[in-house]
Amino acid sequence: MVDGAAVVPAGTDPSADVALTEDGFGIQLGKSFAPTQITLYTEPQCKHCADLQFDVGDDIARYIEDGQLVITYRFVTFLDTSSDGNSARASNAVFLAAEPDADVSAADIQVFIQELYLELIFTDPSDEAPIAEVARGGADGVPDQRVPDH
């Protein structure tokens, strides 16, 4: 017989599934106490990074929702040719969606990331429109005020 109430381990918030890393350079999706935790360094214009999202992005979202996975995205922008290139703008858009007051679920951010990869891989790097279009049309949980105008 078990007597008493269940208590969440110190330092974990079972309701939090989107957080910025302590250093501010990463986005964590999933419950902090998930048994599997991975860090993914990713470039929004990288075809291989896009292949990963196409192949396992839906699985990542499912494992996050099931409380089995925490994934930390750390965006890099080495394929940009300017400081305001598509990779930087895509990364910034994901960080805006992950702000604590945005109230966007981890699953919605994962869908947003997947759709960004799909759009950016097949888009001219000088075209600024796709990021806002993806955020407004794809991930239902990304509020309009969090979407960059371009």
Q: Decide if pLDDT at 29 tops 80.
A: yes
**Percent of the chain at pLDDT above 70?**
70
Q: Nearest CA to 129 among 113, 141, 116?
A: 116
Q: Decide if pLDDT at 27 tops 90.
A: yes
The CA distances from residue 89 to 17, 63, 86, in Å, are 23, 27, 5
pLDDT recorded at residue 74:
97
pLDDT digits (tens, 9 = 90+) for 89-130: 889 889 988 887 888 889 889 988 998 888 777 766 566 555
Q: Decide if pLDDT at 150 tops 90.
A: no
| Bigger pLDDT: 147 vs 127 | 127
pLDDT recorded at residue 82:
85
pLDDT recorded at residue 131:
67
Distance, CA of 71 to CA of 138 (rounded, Å): 21
Map tokens 């965006």 to a residue: 75
The whole-model pTM stands at 0.77
β strands within 2-130, DSSP E: 18-20, 27-29, 36-42, 69-75
Q: Decide if pLDDT at 42 tops 90.
A: yes
What is the number of residues in the chain? 150
